[in-house]
Structure 1
Amino acid sequence: MESEPTAELIRAQLRRLRLKAELSQEEFGKLVHFSGSQVSAVELGQRPLDRFFLRRADEVLGTGGLLTSLLKLADRDGQPSWLRPWLDAERQAQQLRCYQPTLVHGLLQTANYARAVIRTDDMISDDEVDRRVAARMDRQSVLFGSDPPKYLAVLEEAVLRRVDESFRGLMTEQIGHLIECAGRPHIHVHLISAEVSMHVGLVGPLSLARGRDGGWVGHMEHQLGGVVVDSDEDVAILLSRWESVRSEALSRQQSIELMKDVRTSWT
């Protein structure tokens, strides 16, 4: 769910701006394509905050994007406590190195792929799935802003092939997105060929962020969350593991060609 203090602030600002514009809930609802009762439910906290609704509200009320910006802040504050330190390191990084043995890394996922991954947890509600997908897409802005970090990702070829017929379209879209991202000068995507049967990275995913001070911070995920690694000794181990994993991967251009071959196999 959204971080409650920030969510309350959004609802209060929405009501204040609507009243300042001298619009009833019914009148405002017509302008944002919602019913008056739905507007009331949002303002009272009886309905989850909706990105489309707040985007339309910003346009109608001329806020300059205030409400959607506050929702991004609420999403960030609503992230699990174990993830927040890594998100801060990610946003401030000059270089990111990420290895994922079983999935496409989150910063490279399409919305449809992210939804399929998140939906595998059947304990999550549809509203929470929507919130997590939106938060993941917002998180990707770190790669596409005005001063993005150099981003190096290593993925397993098997990740792009381990799908069934029902995911054909989803994977075709996802691989196309990977190819597009890999064509950007600051993004390097490397594949480890399926012919490489065993290497140290298969123990689990790892990420590393190099800050503006030149220092490194690591992150490792597991079934119950994740852990930030910042001691010199542990970071040194992760950097060594990264170098071992990277040495197993194909070159940048070879990886792009392999991604194109895999995409063709799915089309």
Structure 2
Amino acid sequence: MSEQVSTAELIRAQLRRSRATAGLTQEEFGRRVHYSPSTVSAVELGQVVPNHAYLKRADDVFDSGGLFVALRELGRRDGEPVWFRPWLEAERTATQLRCFGATMVPGLLQTADYARAGFRLDLSYTAERIEELVAARLVRQEILDREHAPQLTAVIEETALRRFAEGCAEVMAGQLRHLVECARRPHVNVHVLPATVGLHAGLFGPFILGCSAEGDWVGFLDTQTGGTVVDDIDGVATLLGRWETLRSEALPRQQSIDLLEEIVRPWI
């Protein structure tokens, strides 16, 4: 059994054990943490991944000293590939994020179904591993829901938004609807790079940039076999330059939202 699986199972088992020790039914516990009995059951069966709020309330109910929140953080780190973990800390503490999606919607803006479909393209992943990766991705996205969320600006190639082939149309439609919802949030900007642009700086590949509270930038490059953190001055300067070029060639915010709605309209 992998370390990632044991961490997730430990959380579920400890939740069940703590509830039973406290003499609470799922309904009674649900009332205390402000979740339905069906959600409590789904969490304990491993059908739903508990979020930070759920586990924080469980810690309060059981007076467990932050145990469940701490376990969740361990699970989050375990769920992501080893090569991605150095970037996660930079992303978690960033005040600004800028990402370019060449062939896919950036991970921070993906739905669970879209992420799952992407992970399934790697035939080396088991079904269990795919669900671990999807859960880790959803946890990663929670930085956009916190009180002081980073300002996220994304540029996405139009071709990445028109992959409505047989078998994935429903997934794409759900992803585009989610993208529109995200784009309407005050701290999220989504810009579409029109297919008519032709050759552009983003053809070198997708990337993401994060800026710390101190004003320091760091980048991350996606590759076929993993990824690379870019923190040297020249490398960061190159990515910032390419970002500015891509952003200037992309559509403005409202025009991008209009285009997204136009693309998804036939599939609603």
TM-score by length of 1: 0.81
Give the CA deviation at 1:6. Answer: 5.0
Structure 1 letter corresponding to 2:99: C
Q: Structure 2: how far apart are the matches of 1:52 and 1:193? A: 37
SS in 2 for 1:69: helix
* CA gap 1:125/1:8 in 2 versus in 1, 3 angstroms: closer
Q: Which residue of 2 aligns with 1:63?
A: 62
SS in 1 for 2:218: strand
* CA gap 1:14/1:266 in 2 versus in 1, 3 angstroms: closer
Q: Which residue of 2 aligns with 1:235?
A: 236
Which of 77-86 and 95-104 deviates more? 77-86
Alpha carbons 1:107, 1:139 under 8 Å: kept: yes
* CA gap 1:51/1:234 in 2 versus in 1, 3 angstroms: same
Which runs of no fewer than 5 residues in structure 2 stay unpaired?
25-37
Give the CA deviation at 1:62. Answer: 4.2
Structure 1 letter corresponding to 2:157: E
Q: Structure 2: how far apart are the matches of 1:174 and 1:8? A: 29
* CA gap 1:52/1:260 in 2 versus in 1, 3 angstroms: closer
Q: Which residue of 2 aligns with 1:209?
A: 210
Structure 1 letter corresponding to 2:95: Q
SS in 1 for 2:197: coil
- Written as runs of structure 1 = structure 2, the 5 A alignment for 1:1-16 is 1-3=2-4, 6=7, 10=11, 13=14
Q: Structure 2: how far apart are the matches of 1:173 and 1:224? A: 28
Structure 2 letter corresponding to 1:63: F
Q: Which residue of 1 aligns with 2:31?
A: none
Q: Structure 1: how far apart are the matches of 2:191 and 2:67? A: 38
Structure 2 letter corresponding to 1:97: R
Answer yes or no: is 1:198 the counterpart of 2:199.
Answer: yes
Q: Which residue of 2 aligns with 1:73?
A: 73
Cα deviation 1:113-150 (Å, max 9, x = unaligned): 11111111122111111111111111100111111011
SS in 1 for 2:82: coil
Cα deviation 1:233-256 (Å, max 9, x = unaligned): 111111001111111101111101
Which runs of no fewer than 5 residues in structure 1 stay unpaired?
24-30, 40-48
Q: Structure 2: how far apart are the matches of 1:244 and 1:53? A: 39
Q: Which residue of 2 aligns with 1:50?
A: 46
- The count of residues paired between Structure 1 and Structure 2 equals 247
TM-score by length of 2: 0.80
Q: Structure 1: how far apart are the matches of 2:49 and 2:174? A: 27
SS in 1 for 2:115: helix
* CA gap 1:100/1:64 in 2 versus in 1, 3 angstroms: farther
Which of 212-221 and 5-14 deviates more? 5-14
Give the CA deviation at 1:80. Answer: 2.4
Give the aligned CA root-mean-square deviation in angstroms.
Answer: 3.2
Structure 1 letter corresponding to 2:225: L
Give the CA deviation at 1:107. Answer: 0.5
Q: Structure 2: how far apart are the matches of 1:13 and 1:129? A: 24
Identity %: 46
Alpha carbons 1:6, 1:73 under 8 Å: kept: no
Q: Structure 2: how far apart are the matches of 1:196 and 1:260? A: 20
SS in 1 for 2:167: helix
Which of 73-82 and 145-154 deviates more? 73-82
Q: Structure 2: how far apart are the matches of 1:168 and 1:64? A: 46
Answer yes or no: is 1:184 the counterpart of 2:185.
Answer: yes
Structure 1 letter corresponding to 2:197: V
Which structure has the greater CA radius of gyration?
Answer: 1
Alpha carbons 1:7, 1:74 under 8 Å: kept: no
Q: Which residue of 1 aligns with 2:259?
A: 258
SS in 2 for 1:166: coil
Alpha carbons 2:76, 2:139 under 8 Å: kept: no
Give the CA deviation at 1:196. Answer: 1.3
Give the CA deviation at 1:63. Answer: 3.5
Q: Which residue of 1 aligns with 2:247?
A: 246
* CA gap 1:249/1:51 in 2 versus in 1, 3 angstroms: same
